[in-house]
Amino acid sequence: MTGVDVLWAGGWLRDPAEPVLRGDDAGFATGLGVFETCAVVGGRAFALTRHLHRLAASLAALGLPPVDLDEVRAAVAAVLDAGGDGLGRLRVTVSPGAPGGHARPSLVVTGGPAPVRGAPHVVRSPWVRNERSPLAGHKSTSYAADALALAAAVRVGGNEALLADTRGALCEGTGSNVFVERDGELLTPGLATGCLPGVTRALVLAWSAEAGLPVREAGPDELPWTVVEDARQGRVGLALTGSLRGVVGVEVVEGVAVPVGPLTAEVARRFRARAADDLDP
């Protein structure tokens, strides 16, 4: 999270430099918390309802106290109003707050400019995603492993790291889901790999199905980690999806320029058109 321009916490907008969290906040002390990141399009948070649904579902699944979604919506509206045209992304972070009987969840909503990224350039991470973690499939604030994997990729010239699961299946990126274009199909790893049930991923699957395009979740053994090497050698195509990225074809794998598949290009085009038509699908 860089370049926060607008910050809401504890009931109202604050100077981002003002302290708003206790030192014993469980989010700070033990990484207990969940977050959501939305693109801001035309002054609105894209797919906000889906993001809030996932936020609430993850809090419940992880046994964390619920947050008042009306309060979240009010905070989001305040941040969007204050940020105006300069906003390109919005983030909602919730932790259980400080320990103790009268604790209230800590809710922080921030807005900033859209991230600037070069052409999608992925690097294979030496580390793996643990699909047998209680956090698998949740956008937890215990996010340091992802932050470090991304930083390692950036150090070698990439802008996203791809991870396998512990059993050697392709899983996802640090802040994106991955798709593989192969033999006329576009496949994404199943949730059993521990990947996030991404909002953009879900929309791509649903909208492609409606359009009759061959885009689907892969079976357990369909996408082994070796597909990234296949991509590097130009035998298959890769795409990333994410709330801020949308759908983008991977153009570089570990420094090697690779072609973006025709189905990926078609799906990306349709995603942009349909998202522009409906900001809260």
Interface with a second copy by CB under 8 A: which residues?
1-4, 7, 9-10, 14, 16-33, 35, 62-63, 91, 93, 95, 98-100, 106, 108, 110, 126-130, 132-135, 140-149, 151-152, 166
Other beta carbons within 10 Å of 6: 21
Tell the smallest beta-carbon distance from residue 177 to a second copy (Å): 19
Indicate the residue type of 19.
Answer: P
Complex with a second copy: residue 9 or 236, whichever CB lies closer: 9
Using CA atoms of 254, 260, 263, 269 in order, give the dihedral in degrees to the nearest 10.
110
CB of 126 or CB of 214, closer to a second copy:
126
- Least Å distance between CB 30 and a second copy? 4
- Which amino acid is it at 145? A
262: left (phi over 0), alpha (psi -120 to 50) or beta: alpha
User: Of 141 and 241, which has the nearer Cβ to a second copy?
Assistant: 141
Report the b/e string of 191-212 with b at 16+ CB within 10 A: ebbbbbebbbbbbbbebbeeee
Query: How far is Cα 152 from Cα 155, in angstroms, rounded to an integer?
Result: 5
Smallest gap from Cβ 197 to a second copy, in A, equals 18
- Which of 116/144 has CB closer to a second copy? 144
Q: How far is the CB of 55 from a second copy (least distance, A)?
A: 15
